[in-house]
Amino acid sequence: MAFPATYEIDFVNTGEEPHELSFVELKAGTTASSVIEAQEAGEDPATLVEQFLGTTGAVDPGSSGAVQITLEDGKSYGYACLIEGPDGRPHALDGMLGEISATTSAR
């Protein structure tokens, strides 16, 4: 695979409330969890992020959305749902987050 590479991510909401899928490029040594924890602690999560890549926006139950993101070799990316649930907490705090890394591997 050659980088940078652009991907379209299709998101289908099979849940019972609105969700989103947002992507950021993480600074080296940062995790998606640390970004969300900083936000929850009232800190500026932007200090842990290189750049915002895009979002599906809110996707209603039973609907779908898409986002295009460009990945670069050797970089890490975080994704999360930042929509608040009925308890007022972003869904990411309940586990709707993760990370991906882009690497070129020789075979």
For 8-67, the pLDDT digits (tens) are 999 999 999 999 999 999 999 999 999 888 888 889 888 999 999 999 999 999 999 999
Residue 107 lies in a domain: no
- Closest to 91 in 3D by CA, of 41, 46, 25, 40: 40
- Closest to 73 in 3D by CA, of 44, 106, 38, 48: 106
pLDDT for the residue 1:
61
CATH number of the domain to which 22 belongs: 2.60.40.420
Residue 44 lies in a domain: yes
- Closest to 21 in 3D by CA, of 75, 84, 65: 65
Residue 94 lies in a domain: yes
Lookup result for tokens 């940078």? 4
* DSSP code string of 48-78: GEEEEEEE---B-TT-EEEEEEEE-TT-EEE
The model carries a pTM of 0.88
As beta bridge partners, residue 24 has 52, 78
Domain that holds residue 22: 5-101
